[in-house]
Amino acid sequence: MRQLEPLPGSDVDESLPPRRRWRWLRHRNLVWGGAVFVLLLVVSFAAPVLTHFNPLSVDPLSTLQKPSLIHLFGTDELGRDLVSRVLYGGRYTIFASLAAMTLGVVGGSLIGLIAGIAGGSVDMVLMRLMDLILAFPGILPALAITTILGPSFTNLIIAIGFSSAPGYARIVEAGTLQVKQLVYVEAAESSGSSRWHIIRKHVLPNVFSLIVVAATTGLGITVLSVAALGFLGLGVQPPTPEWGSILNEGRENISLAWWISLFPGIFITFYVIAVSIMGDGLRDLLDPMNV
């Protein structure tokens, strides 16, 4: 006979067999994607330990040197070591992507919850506003915001977070409308439970998995937006390194020094692939059909 699952938050969760407690290990996408993601985090934030070069240090005698044992990724047009610039730049790119994603998820989820719970005209007005923002292609809203506010690291995060919020709002609003139709939610409304109580006890636990999967898969798009705005000069300002800005620096010397653009591009590629397959693994893990 199949063992009944314990209620969430109960004290008998530890009694689950190891096969159930460690079932996430069966999802290879989640394991490998998470491993690469953690590895990129470690090498970026451990940059002072992994390299002894200063990413801002200019060396006129070492300009445009090819990858070698001394400079593993080569040097740029100012003689700066690219290993240090790529690793230190990962700090800004990864942090900006995580911060912008968090801002978009929190803001979009709040809007989606309010729209789904309130319904009626409130839902219609909020969702039409979200549709208006979604009508603009790609990173155009973020590009417009950074142009208005001015190029800076903080404005970059705000712009990308704002432009990504409507997507999360749409997902949460749709999930909230589905949860509202459940019998026990209707019973809670009939018994006079407050909307905050319904959101906290019934809606959020049911839409949480949707938010987690959407945030993880959307992180890849977010980091591409961060790198794109950095490439256009609307993100972190020189001489501070950032993957997108390093790509832009290598653009002018692409025929002479291909390595300047190659290595930050490789890091961006691995980051996007890692979070994408990690999102696929999370979706499979949180799918009730795979429990």
User: Is the per-residue pLDDT at 149 higher than 70?
Assistant: yes
Each domain of the chain, given as residue ranges in start order, spans 25-290
Rounded Cα gap, residues 63 and 101, in angstroms: 37
Measured in degrees and rounded to the nearest 5, phi and psi for residue 75 equal -130, 165
pLDDT in tens, 205-241: 888 888 988 898 889 999 999 999 999 888 888 889 9
Predicted pLDDT at 70: 92
Fold for 25-290, please state it.
Answer: MetI-like fold (1.10.3720)
DSSP, collapsed to helix, strand or coil, labels residue 67 as coil
DSSP state of 62: G
Has residue 6 got a pLDDT over 60? Answer: no
| pLDDT of 15 above 60 | no
pTM of the model: 0.85
pLDDT value of residue 289: 47
| pLDDT level of residue 21 (50, 70, 90 thresholds) | low
SS3 211: helix
Lowest mean pLDDT among 5-19, 175-189, 254-268, 277-291: 5-19
Pick the residue with more confidence: 155 or 289? 155
In degrees, rounded to 5, the angle at the alpha carbon of residue 65 between the alpha carbons of residues 59 and 66 is 150
**Size of the chain, expressed as the number of residues it contains:** 291
